Amino acid sequence: MPFSSSAIVILGASGDLAQRKLIPALQRLHLQGSLEGLTAIVGEGRSELTTETFRSKFTSSDGFSALLSYHQGISGLRQHVQSRGSFSRIIVFMALPPAIYGATAAELAAEGFGEESILVVEKPFGHDLESARQLNRDLARHFDERRIFRIDHYLAKEAVQNILVFRFANSVFYPVWNSRYIESIQINASEEIGVEGRGAYFDDAGIIRDMVQNHLMQLLCLVTMEAPATLDAEEVRCQKLSILKSLRVADCRRMQYRGYHQEKGVTPGSATETYAELKLFIDTFRWVGMPIYIRTGKALDRRGTEIGVQFRGLPRLLFNREGQVEPNRIVFKIQPAEGIVLDLSSKAPGDGVRLTDTSMKFCYRDAFEGEIPEAYQKLLLDAIRGDRTLFISAEETELSWQRLAPALGAGDLGYYDRGTDPASQLCGDCIDFGKYASVCV
Active site residues: 215
Separation CA 423–CA 412 (nearest Å): 16
Of 124, 297, 276, 282, the closest CA to residue 213 belongs to 124
Separation CA 74–CA 111 (nearest Å): 8
Amino acid at 58: F
Element (H, E) at 381: helix 375-385
Which DSSP string corresponds to 78-125? Answer: HHHHHHH---SEEEEEE-S-GGGHHHHHHHHHHHT--TTEEEEEESP-
CB 92 within 8 A of CB 119: yes
CB 9 within 8 A of CB 78: no
What is the DSSP secondary structure assignment for residue 440, as one 8-state letter?
A: T
Q: How many CB atoms lie within 10 A of CB 74?
A: 16
Amino acid at 248: R
CB 11 within 8 A of CB 95: yes
CB 120 within 8 A of CB 94: yes
Which DSSP string corresponds to 353-373? Answer: --EEEEEEEEEHHHHS-SPPP
What is the DSSP secondary structure assignment for residue 4, as one 8-state letter?
A: G
Half-sphere exposure in the Cβ direction for 435 (13 Å, CA): 11
Separation CA 77–CA 54 (nearest Å): 16
**247: which strand partners?**
282
Separation CA 73–CA 85 (nearest Å): 19
Alpha helices in 11-50 (DSSP H): 16-17, 23-31
